[in-house]
Structure 1
């Protein structure tokens, strides 16, 4: 396989996984979120309260992108923002009950995606793929 073919294939896999997630969310009645919103919500499942800078670091997006994504999550009722009492420059983001209610749905979608992703792949192949992906990641 040529390097260009591999890059194209990686791009196609990313596109297909995004489409899979969006289709699964639509099946669950979730029409007001993009996959990048899910990244923020997932980060908040792991940390109940994060600053905007922490979210940007966790999901590897710049702060301006995170601000736009969080603002939409606020408008749709999934998160709330509040300023730090001691330093008003710091903005915290927390899930609302509506956002917390998505956790079992997100977990189910995630499991279905992993099941699809790993269909026909042995445990040894999974380990090898992970080893290679870590190497590629570390190269950047």
Structure 2
């Protein structure tokens, strides 16, 4: 049973990669760059590189390279924190709007494809169980 669950996770990740690839190809971005743009757009409360590393479980070096690339492309800017000079906030630039919009559209399509043919009741039950599993993972 565990092998089936692991395979499920691998297959979902592989399918998501296909949707992310649409964004990568259209805007000439790396997977990490797409992930960071969409993460920042979808989670405005997490705007530090350390947040991305912690929440998205990305490697520091990948985040650093992707952030620098996005800044060079004009999609992000770094903004110093007035209270803590060690902190640098990452802000989406207007130039990122089209890419983010398309990426969010792809994310929505991916989510819809996952639940195609599944009733609202079954979807709610699945999400309820996922929340219970998440709580087990984080130990609460």
Cα distance change of structure 1 residues 115 and 55 upon mapping to structure 2, 3 Å threshold: same
Alignment partner of 1:42 is 2:38: yes
Consecutive unaligned residues in structure 2, runs of 5 or more: none
Report which structure shows greater RCO (CA 8 Å, sep ≥6).
2
Distance change in 2, residues 1:72/1:53 (3 Å): same
CA distance in 1, matches of 2:78, 2:129: 39
Say which SS state the counterpart of residue 94 (structure 1) adopts: strand
CA distance in 2, matches of 1:49, 1:123: 30
Per-residue CA shift, 1:84-140, capped at 9, x if unaligned?
355432212111222123232123212211221111111111011111211222221
Please say if residues 77 and 93 of structure 2, whose CA atoms lie closer than 8 Å, have aligned partners that are also in contact. Answer: yes
TM-score, normalised with respect to structure 2: 0.78
SS of 1:101 mapped into structure 2: helix
1:10 — aligned with what? 9
CA contact (8 A) 2:20 2:103 kept: no
Q: Is the 8 A contact 1:41 1:95 kept in 2?
A: yes
Count of aligned pairs: 136
Provide the residue aligned with 1:25 in structure 2: 23
Kindly indicate whether the alpha-carbon contact (under 8 Å) linking 1:49 and 1:94 is maintained by their aligned counterparts in 2. Answer: no
For the residues of structure 2 that align with 1:58 and 1:25, how far apart are their CA atoms? Answer: 22
CA distance in 1, matches of 2:28, 2:80: 29
What TM-score comes out, normalization by structure 1 length? 0.78
1:103 and 2:110 aligned? no
